[in-house]
A and B are shown apart, each in its own frame.
Chain A
Amino acid sequence: MKRIVSIIIMTAFIWMGCENKSTSPGVSDTEILIGNIQDLSGPIKELGLLIPAGTNMYLDYINSQGGVHGRQIKMLVEDHGYNPQKAVVAAKKLIEKDQVFCLYNVIGTSPAEAIRPILEESGVPLIAPATNSSSMSDMSRQAAEYIFHTDAGYDLQTRVLIDYIIDKNPDAKIGIAYQDDDYGENALKGCAEAEGNHGITVQKESFQRGATDFVGQTMNFMKGGCTDVIIGGIVREPVTIMKTAQAIGYKAQFYGLGPTVDPRVGMLAGEAGEGFIAAYWANYPNSDDSGPTLYRQLSEQNNVPEKMRGLYHYYGFATAHVLVEGLMKAGKYPTRERLMKGLETLHDWDSGVFPPITYSRNDHAGVESVILLQLQGGKQVAITDWRE
């Protein structure tokens, strides 16, 4: 009897002393495999090349320092051409065939939405989907527990911009040019919220993704007497609208959402772009914060061409911080559950690239504040503090 009791006690001690060394697929002794789905052939293929390049720059930096718990991080990139159907095929390939540990940075709202059922079925987490849509952090939606969003939503950005405009001039007449897709849909949500808060009506003009002519919209803003115009585009849209306004002699203050914080807006718009204000949700690439400083340093070391540096290359670099932090938190023997639990322990985490991030079981929203940047002499300068 004594012998049996001692065996049981010893077994219990051994069991307690043992760490659970099982890992999820995609993790070997030397490597962690990550899956990234980008647009390499569709309407935003330019972004699809820049973002993973930025990510790889940071992952190479981490790998050169020994990786995460001794494992090198390797990223596989698949193409979806901004087609949700292809995004599903790519996600299935990465999960079932390539056996990645987790997904990261799936670009575009509809492609990211399309893979929700796969995340739920396979239990694979998606870190930092590359879309500013707030639907990604809506915890009531399918597979929300597997998605860790970083970006502040377009709705929040729009609302903060309208709040700023009304603070400055309560009589301002505001207009918004929105893309007729999920991006614009999300921006309109924030616009409706601000309209309700301030009791105002915003003049709304839509345009199609990929449009090159904005004369009609600009004329309508002019006719409507808009003093402040928000442009929900990427690069071409703000540049063309501001240049058109200059050509027809229409003077208004122009604003943009996150994707317009690209140095090319200033370069291409020239004089017409001077004073352009954009909402942004990360420590912007020109700032003196630790993240952007490291970014500039690594870009120099790696001889990243000047034309590649900027918002989207930086985006890949910045969101990779969350991925690496999650992998660190997942411990020496990472599983997908440990990765998710690890991220959910982040509280006011200062990454250097974002304002402090907090995740919890019921909150996967990431950044929830916005800073306003203004183009002054071709450079972006912060003109406000972080706003919510």
Chain B
Amino acid sequence: MIKGRFDDENLKWIPVLIIVVFLFPFLLKSATFSYKYYLYILNIAGIYIILTVGLDILSGFTGLMSLGHAAFLAIGAYTSAILVDQVGLPFELSLIITPIIVGLFGFVIGFPALRIEGMYLGLTTMGFGFIVKRLIIAFREWTGGSGGLHVSKATFFGITINNDWDNYFMIYTFAILAIIIARRIVKSKLGRAFMAIRDSEQAAQASGINLAKYKMMSFFISGMFAGFAGVLFAHTSHFISTDHFDILLSILFIVMVLVGGVGSIYGAVLGTLFIVLMENMFIPLFEDGMSQFVHLEAGDFQVFIFGLIMLIFIIFQPLGLYGMWLKTRIYWKIFPFNPRKRFT
């Protein structure tokens, strides 16, 4: 019998993980009275997971660098805010239309990717981010200009998403779906074409892969993921402005993918959770402890820690958190017959 595409994978733990994800808010609520604060942070992490999974398809699997994903997020957020609040489309429809619109923007940005690569592509996408910011300010009639835009609450099939609790279930349902779709994409013919382009453009072309088509397709898909995240971002934050989507956010997305492990969907998820939790929970805790001994300005310390994390990962763990997990798993699988120097 011919093996199915996913026969080699052990998928038994996935339903367990999904149940844990949906039970987590209940555990949190019983553990702490400030659960709403933690839920909000997790919601933001969930939205970023959708985006970084898409970014990983572009950067990790196709090898195309993007420093413009905050701009894709912005387009998604503003498009949805305009479609729902000004045009009057239902939120459900915006969830379908907005990612397609943002995907088309990605498609357009994919054009330069046919001729440039590496840092030059990074700079082009960064420039795209600046253009989007100027456009948001210029179209102030719809976007509210630099003053920002208030966004209504999402209504999903008659249920109004009123608070962080409701938001959590909506966001994580979509985040899980995004992970499953992304996994399907990278395991398909499309994903193999992306990886072939990443590994060697010449070899890919020689194998009959249409570089233009697949590169632009990669940007389109990545844009769609970012657009989807943008919709959720707008209706979770309830207020969006150009200050939300600066270049630092694009860099942070790259860091999330890098720390998690480039070229692995689960890595993007782990990296995003790691960075968001570090930024909002562990670094402030550490800062409070440190402030008793040394006087530090909060922001400087955070930047220092992030820089250090990136350096450590690039030098010692280029495969990221997911790579670490894989190594550990293999280690215990062959234990006690591990080659002595292999895992040191």
| Interface residues of A, Cβ cutoff 8 Å to B | 40-42, 45, 49, 79, 81-85, 88-89, 92-93, 95-97, 99, 108-111, 113-114, 116-117, 121, 133, 135, 141-142, 180-182, 184-186
Contacts and interface: CB of A to CB of B under 8 A. Distances in A.
A116 B237 CA distance: 10
A41 B298 contact: yes
B171 to A, nearest CB: 15
B34 A182 contact: no
- Which residue, of A49, A116, A121, A182, has the highest number of chain B Cβ atoms within 10 A? A182
Nearest to B246: A83
B237 to A, nearest CB: 7
- Which applies to chain B's interface (DSSP): helix, strand, loop or mixed? helix
Given A85-B244, A113-B148, A184-B146, A92 B238 contact: no
Interface string B27-60: 0000001111100110010000000000000000
Interface stretch (B16-24, B178-186, B299-307): B299-307
Contacts, number: 95
Contacts of A85: 44, 237, 244
Given A92-B37, A114-B148, A182 B297 contact: no
Nearest to A79: B298
A185 B147 contact: yes
Contact of A182 (B37, B148, B150, B302): B148
Nearest to A83: B243
A85 B280 CA distance: 11
Contact of A83 (B239, B244, B303): B244
A49 B137 CA distance: 29
Given A89-B280, A93-B37, A96-B36, A182 B147 contact: yes
A96 B32 CA distance: 10
B259 to A, nearest CB: 19
Contacts of B302: 41
Nearest to A117: B238
A82 B243 contact: yes
21 contacts: A79-B299, A81-B299, A83-B246, A84-B237, A84-B244, A89-B280, A92-B37, A96-B33, A96-B35, A97-B34, A108-B243, A109-B147, A110-B148, A110-B241, A110-B244, A114-B237, A114-B239, A142-B150, A182-B146, A182-B241, A186-B147
A283 to B, nearest CB: 29
Contacts of A82: 243
B41 to A, nearest CB: 7
Given A45-B297, A85-B237, A109-B147, A121 B243 contact: no
A99 B36 CA distance: 12
B147 A49 contact: no
A114 B241 contact: yes
Given A41-B300, A42-B299, A121-B163, A110 B243 contact: yes
A41 B241 contact: no
B318 interface: no
B124 interface: no
Interface string B216-245: 000000000000000000000111111110
Contacts of B241: 84, 110, 113-114, 182
A76 to B, nearest CB: 11
B148 A40 contact: no
Given A83-B243, A116-B239, A41 B297 contact: yes
Contacts of A95: 37
A111 B241 CA distance: 9
A108 B147 CA distance: 11
Interface residues of B, number: 32
Contacts of A99: 34
Contacts of B148: 84, 109-110, 113-114, 182
Nearest to A85: B244
B237 A185 contact: no
A340 to B, nearest CB: 22
B90 interface: no
Interface in B141-157: 145-148, 150
Nearest to A181: B146
Contacts of A93: 37
A40 B240 CA distance: 21
Nearest to B233: A85
Given A82-B243, A83-B243, A117-B238, A92 B137 contact: no
Given A83-B243, A113-B239, A114-B237, 8 more contacts: A41-B300, A84-B148, A84-B239, A84-B240, A88-B40, A99-B34, A109-B147, A184-B146
A328 B325 CA distance: 57
A74 B152 CA distance: 35
Interface in B231-276: 237-244, 246
